[in-house]
């Protein structure tokens, strides 16, 4: 099995190497083909690696004392020694073909700005997007954009639909994933003009490798009504954070209720296996790991406050994206060379 080389910004996120290194070790349990290059403070990374000989054997460390802070503005991160920071060096490793994917739990805005400059966007893509896997009643769906860019015109929403469909074909093994545009209602007359225009384009274009199902509402995300939910970054990020908060809220309510009386505790004991299964499904760490779609390179963004389990999940998603040829699928879909010979994004622009 060919190794999948991951370049890691070890200093990113709220916890840095203390979470990221153990997360890499957990990820290799599920994806043993992964190897790692950690960029950051060697004095902090090396002791953690030394405690895990198996991880140490497939890892190297590239020292840099410079890290992008979580509160840095993208413009500040780009000005302040960008080519020496752990975030930039991880991206540059992908550009130089020294790594197959870059990973960071750091500042999202800085990571996106650096990725666009270092790796550039694909042909036919104006702005990249962050796509996440979202647990649903039917399994999982892909939701994008969840925070890469704020606002979107019709053209950008169409690009998101095409990129999300390509990802769904890889991740879910579908020939024609069902795609929906997130809207305030399912009726064609509802919504802002950009969303309605994107809907018209997707219907008229009849893209061969996606099955456009029209508008979907917020509750359709959790139902799994479609395989790909498309929206712009502002709305998508609010939806993601709301879902994470709701999962934590319900978990807190359940813990309180189950500890409220002897009868409740007895009921929990008798149904503990079901409750554990529920806890797994509601765990927000399952949706950790967003893929930056539309770049000429695989970039994985982990939640800044995630623990080792969430970090592992994000790294596994990055490994799968590389192994299954996600970038090639997206390029083919956008250019019209592969499964969509009759479709050209240039026609959408006109």
pLDDT in tens, 251-278: 788 778 878 887 887 776 767 777 676 6
3-state SS of 314-345?
HHHHHHHHHHCCHHHHHHHHHHCCCCCCCCCH
Cα–Cα distance measured from residue 128 to residue 144, given in angstroms and rounded to the nearest whole number:
10
Question: What is 1-119's CATH number?
Answer: 3.40.718.10
Q: Nearest CA to 122 among 350, 344, 335?
A: 335
Per-residue pLDDT at 287: 64
- Among the residues of the chain, which ranges form H helices? 17-30, 42-50, 53-56, 74-79, 86-95, 108-119, 154-172, 193-205, 218-223, 233-258, 262-270, 272-282, 308-323, 326-335, 345-349
The pair of three-digit structure tokens given for residue 90, joined into one six-digit string: 């991880």
What would the pLDDT profile of 31-61 be if each residue is shown by its tens digit? Answer: 999 999 999 999 999 999 999 999 999 999 9
Class of the CATH-defined domain 127-291+326-350: alpha beta
Predicted confidence at residue 70, as pLDDT, reads 86
100's CB contacts (< 8 A; 6+ apart) are: 4, 5, 6, 94, 298, 322
pLDDT value at position 253?
Answer: 81
| Res 275: pLDDT | 63
Nearest-angstrom CA–CA distance, 151 and 156: 9
Query: Is the previous residue joined to 145 through a cis bond, with omega within 30 degrees of 0?
Result: yes
Phi, psi torsion values for 230, nearest 5 degrees? -110, 130
Intervals of CATH 3.40.718.10 along the chain? 1-119, 127-291+326-350
CB contact at 8 A, 198 and 190 = no
Give the global pTM: 0.81
Q: What is the rounded distance in angstroms from the CA atom of residue 119 to the CA atom of residue 182?
A: 29
- State the DSSP H helix or E strand holding residue 100, giving kind and residue range, or none if neither: none
DSSP letter string, 184-203: S-SSTT-S-HHHHHHHHHHH
User: Could you say which residues of the chain have pLDDT below 70?
Assistant: 80-82, 268, 270, 275, 277-287, 336-350
Q: What pLDDT does 283 receive?
A: 61
Question: What pLDDT does 254 receive?
Answer: 78
Radius of gyration of the chain (CA): 21
Per-residue pLDDT, 80: 62
Match 């765990």 to its residue by tokens: 283
Residues 6+ apart with CB under 8 A from 114: 74, 77, 78, 82, 87, 88, 91
Pair of tokens at residue 238: 């609010």
């Amino acid at each position: 099995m060919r190794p999948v080389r991951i370049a890691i910004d070890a200093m990113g996120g709220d916890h840095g190497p203390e979470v990221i290194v153990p997360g890499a070790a957990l990820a290799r349990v599920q994806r043993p083909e992964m190897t790692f290059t950690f960029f950051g403070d060697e004095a902090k990374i090396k002791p953690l690696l030394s405690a895990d000989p198996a991880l140490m054997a497939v890892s190297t460390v590239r020292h840099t004392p410079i890290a992008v802070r979580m509160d840095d503005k993208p413009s500040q991160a780009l000005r302040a020694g960008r080519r020496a920071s752990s975030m930039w060096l991880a991206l540059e490793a992908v550009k130089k073909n020294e790594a197959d994917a870059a990973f960071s739990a750091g500042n999202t805005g800085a990571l996106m700005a650096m990725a666009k400059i270092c790796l550039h966007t694909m042909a036919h893509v104006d702005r990249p997007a962050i796509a996440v896997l979202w647990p649903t009643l039917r399994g999982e769906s892909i939701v994008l954009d969840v925070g890469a860019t704020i606002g979107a015109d019709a053209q950008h929403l169409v690009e998101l639909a095409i990129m999300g469909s390509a990802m769904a074909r890889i991740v879910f093994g579908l020939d024609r994933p069902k795609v929906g545009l997130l809207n305030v209602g399912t009726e064609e007359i509802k919504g802002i003009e950009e969303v309605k225009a994107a809907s018209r384009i997707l219907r008229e274009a009849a893209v061969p490798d996606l099955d456009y199902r029209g508008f979907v509402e917020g509750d359709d995300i959790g139902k799994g009504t479609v395989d790909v939910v498309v929206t712009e970054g502002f709305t998508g990020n609010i939806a993601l954070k709301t879902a994470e908060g709701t999962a934590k809220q319900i978990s807190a309510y359940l813990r309180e209720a189950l500890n409220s009386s002897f009868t409740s505790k007895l009921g929990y004991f008798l149904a503990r296996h079901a409750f554990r299964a529920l806890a797994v499904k509601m765990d927000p760490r399952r949706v950790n790991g967003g893929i930056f779609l539309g770049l000429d390179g695989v970039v994985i963004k982990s939640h800044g406050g995630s623990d080792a389990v969430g970090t592992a999940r994000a790294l596994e998603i990055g490994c799968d994206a590389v192994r299954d040829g996600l970038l090639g699928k997206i390029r083919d879909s956008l250019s019209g060379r592969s499964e969509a010979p009759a479709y050209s994004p240039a026609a959408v622009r006109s």
